[in-house]
Amino acid sequence: MREKLHPFHIAILIYMTQSGVVIFSLPRVLAQHMGYNGWIALTVFYVIVALNISLISLAYRLADGKSIFQIIEHFFPKIAVIPLYIFLLTLWMMIGCISAKRYIIIYQIFVFPTTHPMLIKILVDTLAFLLIIKGIYNISKAATVFFWLVIWTILLLLFFLHDFQWINLTSFYFHESSDIVTGSFRIFTAFLGYELILLLFPYAEKRKGVMKAVHIGNLLTFLTYILVCLVCYGFYSFDQLKRMKFPMLDLLAYIEFPFVERIENLIFSLYLFTSLIGIVMYCWSALEAAQRILPKANVKWLAAIIMAVAYVVSWVPTVLVEVDAWLQYLGQIEIGVAFGLPLMLLLFLLLQKRRDEPYIDYNEPS
C-alpha cells in the first residue's frame, strides 16, 4: 500500500517549499521597491497567492485524484505533450539548482570566502539526491522534522521586543516606492512553491482538508514573512534597511546570550533545512515530469541524471548578482506556470466533464 499525504504534512511541505533563504533579504527588497511600511504590501501578495491556490483547488476538485499528466494526456497524444514536459522539467530543475546555489553563495560570502562554492554544492546536492530517491512520502516526513528544527528560530524575534520602535515605521505608506512592477515580481517569487501542489494530487489523502492545508501552509509563510519584515522595519531605519544586503542576518547578529553571540551563522546553517526542502521539491517535480517522458527508466538513475545536469548548469552563474538575476527570470516563468497550468487543467477538466456527461434527450418522455 502506498502511503498518502495527510493534510497536516501537506501544509508543512508547502510552508517549507515556499520559505527559504529569501527571508534573509526580503525586508530589503520590500524597502527598495515598496518604500515606507512596505511590509504591509505582503498582504496583497498573500491574497493573490490565496486566489491562485483557490484556482488550483477548483482543478483539484475536478481532477478527483488524477495527476496533471493524466489529465493532459487525456486530450493530447503523449508525443505532443513531451515538449511541455521537457519545458516543465527544465524549469523546475533549474529553479531547484539555482536556489541551492543561492544559499551556498550567501554562505560562502560570509564564512568560506576562499572555498569554491561548487565544492559545498556537491554535498548539498548529494543530500537532496538522497532525499529525492526516497519518494514524496519520505520527503514530507523529512520536511516535518526539518520544520520543527527550524520554526523555533521565529522565537528569536522576541529579543527585539525591547529595541523595536514604532516610530521607525513612520506614518508614511509606500512612500519612496520605486519600480513597483519589477519589485512585485521579485517579492512574489518569495511565495513560490505552493504551485507544486499540482503534482501532489495523486499522492494526497482524498479528504476535503487538502486544499485548506495549502492555504494554511501559505498563511504560515505569510505570517513568518510579515513578522520578520515588521521587526526589520521597526528595528532599522528605512535608509538602513534599503542598504543592507541581508537585514535578517544582521538582525540575528545583534542577539547576545551570556555564553554565545553572533548566532547568525548558526541560524543561517539551520536554514539549510528549508532550502533543502525547496531544492528537493523542485527537483522531485522535475523527476515526476521526467518519469512521464521515460516511464520505464530507473527512478534512481533518472534522479541522478537530473541532479548531475542541475549541478553542471549551476556552474554557469558565479556571483550572487548573476544567481539572483537567473532566479528572477526563472521565478517569472514559474509565476506564469503557477497561474497558467491550473487554468489549462481547468479548461481540460471542464471539457472532459462535458464530453463524458451522458446525453440526455429532454424530448423523450421520462
Partner 1 sequence: MTDSNHIIAPSLQHTLDNFKDCIDLTHRTFPEINVHLVYFDHLINSDELYRYITPLTEAREYEIQNLLIRSQYQLALDSDTVIKGILYGKIAIFHKDDTYLVDAYKPEARSIDASQTETVITGPHDSFTEPALSNLSLIRSKIKSSHLKVIKLEVGEISKTDLYILYIDGLANMDYVKELVERIELIEVDAVHDGNMLIQYIDDFPNSIFPLFSTSERPDTAISKLVAGKIIGILDGSPSVFTAPSSFFEFFASPDDYYQRWILGTATRLLRFAALVITLTFTALYVSVTTFHYEMIPEALLLTLTESRSRVPFPPIYEALLMELTIELLREAGARLPTKIGQTIGIVGGIVIGQAAVQAGLTSNVLIIAVASSAIASFVIPSYVMSASIRLVRFGLIILAGTLGDLGIAMGIAYIVIHLCGLTSLNTSYITPVAPSYFNDWRDVFIRAPLWAMRDRPSQSNTPNKVKMKQKK
By the criterion CB under 8 A, which residues form the site for partner 1?
3, 6, 8-9, 107, 111-112, 120, 123-124, 127, 130-131, 134, 138, 140-142, 144-146, 148-149, 256-263, 265-266, 268-270, 272-273, 276
Q: Is 79 helix (H, G, I), strand (E, B) or coil?
A: helix
Nearer to partner 1, 199 or 276 (CB): 276
CB of residue 143 vs partner 1: minimum separation in angstroms? 8
Give the nearer residue to partner 1 in terms of CB position, either 129 or 188.
Answer: 129
Cα-based distances in Å from 28 to 23, 31, 225, 230, 267: 10, 5, 12, 12, 19
Q: At closest approach, how far in Å is the CB of 300 from partner 1?
A: 13
For partner 1, give the closer residue by CB, 123 or 347.
123
Least CB distance to partner 1 at residue 186 (A): 26
Beta-carbon contacts of 124 under 8 Å, excluding residues fewer than 6 positions away, are 100, 103, 104, 272, 275, 276, 279
Cβ nearer to partner 1, comparing 127 with 180: 127
> For residues 146 and 233, which CB has a smaller minimum distance to partner 1 in the complex?
146
Give SS3 for 5: strand
Of 104 and 338, nearer to partner 1 (C-beta) is 104
Q: Cβ 124 to partner 1, closest distance in Å? A: 7
- Per the DSSP assignment, residues forming a β-bridge with 261 are 256
| Separation CA 107–CA 104 (nearest Å) | 5
Cell numbers of 362, please?
429532454
Q: Please, are residues 248 and 232 in contact by the beta-carbon 8 Å criterion?
A: yes
Nearest-approach distance from CB 288 to partner 1, in angstroms = 19
Which of 267/286 has CB closer to partner 1?
267
Shortest distance, CB of residue 93 to partner 1, whole angstroms? 20
7 vs 77, 116, 138, CA distance in Å?
33, 40, 15
- Smallest gap from Cβ 292 to partner 1, in A, equals 24
As given in the structure block, the three cell numbers for residue 198 are: 499540482
Give the span between the Cα atoms of 68 and 20, in whole angstroms: 26
The rounded distance, in Å, linking the Cα atoms of 165 and 348 is 53
